Amino acid sequence: MRHYLFTSESVTEGHPDKICDQISDAVLDAILSADPEGRVACETTVSTGLVHIMGEISTKCYVDIPRITREVIRSIGYDRAKYGFDCDTCGIITNIDEQSGDIALGVDKSLESKNGEDAELQHGAGDQGMMFGYACDETPELMPLPISLAHALAKQLTKIRKDGLVDYLRPDGKTQVTVEYDENHKAVRIDTIVISTQHAPEATLEQIRRDMIELVVKPIVPEELLDEDTRYFINPTGRVVIGGPQGDSGLTGRKIIVDTYGGSAPHGGGAFSGKDPTKVDRSAAYAARYIAKNVVAAGLAKRCQVQLAYAIGVAKPVSVLVETFGTGKVDDGVLSDAVQQVFDLRPTAIIRQLELRKPIYQKLAAYGHMGREDLGVRWEDTDKVEALLAAIK
């Protein structure tokens, strides 16, 4: 195969869709803090001056959703009207029902436990569907390089704003990185970097472009990956004064590729934010990442993709598929058997193993759910390496 280009994007926490993800997960965190068994499916949408929180929640506790919402918006940086969105004056609508009793029938007690099997691990999957996990050896955290760099640039863009290094930046922003790979799938250079950031009307394009290169790109991107042919597109439209919910409506779950692997692996379709861990959209996606990362960390493959699939109300996955794209040290079928020996993939077991009833989710709702070693999440651990190697032997 000849050299090829691959691109991934990220967005800052002030992007309208990411505002929604953070609100939904902040509501989830508040409920899990008081009621770890709470059932939450919380969706948020934002537009000019308005936040609408809706969904199905069953819990024994009370949480002040409007207060939580305003705190999230304030922490992001939308705290004055001139930014086009203000935490203190925006309207907030809540529309919450209880979780459907029909769904609870299968989640509370799995098909297996109804048949007398393993009552301890009783939860059934909260929905049908397929989830994917992925890992590769391109970065220390075993994530694809394009999405890793895109997230790092987005975080740096937010950092220089919050640290006050420049006074004209506003919370909304997007980054994009195009990496050139050689015929052996090795990253050899950065072809293109795109940064679009909301800014004050008095900031000049020349100033923004200069600061983005010096304060965002250079501290993050390895110098050896940049060359004289690397292209930079900084605010390529020329002006991004109107941003955030004033510039575009936002919705929970509309950045699922940003949340995962930047397009390097498939996505099953289910969003993460606002969902408690009985929803396998979330918990099984984390489990699939956990498996894939341990496979690569064990040296059993350079690239690993895991697909898990579930039926609603059934605890055991209906299928487990491991794909190593020709990089595996053993046959993919052998590896798949070993994975199923080492990892218990029933929802209750996943929740316990990965400690998913803790209020850990709002911090994950921006800059990706995978590769987040900085947050100490359990699905980034590589503690199953020895068990996998033993199972292979």
Q: Which of 350, 361, 298 is nearest to 320 (CA)?
A: 350
- For residue 121, the model assigns a pLDDT of 60
Over the stretch 116-168, which tens digit does the pLDDT of each residue have? 666 566 777 777 889 999 999 999 999 999 999 999 999 999 999 999 999 99
Whether the pLDDT of residue 102 is over 70: the answer is: no
In the chain, the percentage of residues whose pLDDT exceeds 70 is 93
Does 371 or 268 have the greater pLDDT score?
371
- For residue 56, the model assigns a pLDDT of 93
Rounded to whole angstroms, how far apart are CA atoms 189 and 223?
A: 10
Whether the pLDDT of residue 181 is over 70: the answer is: yes
> What's the pTM value of the predicted model, to 2 decimals?
0.94
Over the stretch 233-251, which tens digit does the pLDDT of each residue have? 999 999 889 999 998 999 9
Q: Is 234 left (phi over 0), alpha (psi -120 to 50) or beta?
A: beta
- For residue 115, the model assigns a pLDDT of 61
Over the stretch 286-343, which tens digit does the pLDDT of each residue have? 999 999 999 999 999 999 999 999 998 888 999 999 999 999 999 999 999 999 999 9
Does 109 or 163 have the greater pLDDT score?
163
Amino acid in the structure at residue 246: Q
Provide the strand spans (E) within 59-107: 79-80, 85-86, 91-97
Whether the pLDDT of residue 97 is over 80: the answer is: yes
Question: Of 147-151, 246-250, 364-368, 377-381, where does mean pLDDT reach its minimum?
Answer: 246-250
Give strand pairing partners of 195: 175, 234
Rounded to whole angstroms, how far apart are CA atoms 387 and 159?
A: 39
Please give the full DSSP string across 237-302, using - where no structure is assigned.
TS---S-HHHHS-EETTS-HHHHTTTTSS---S---TTB-TTSHHHHHHHHHHHHHHHHHHTTS-S
Whether the pLDDT of residue 111 is over 70: the answer is: no
Does 228 or 101 have the greater pLDDT score?
228
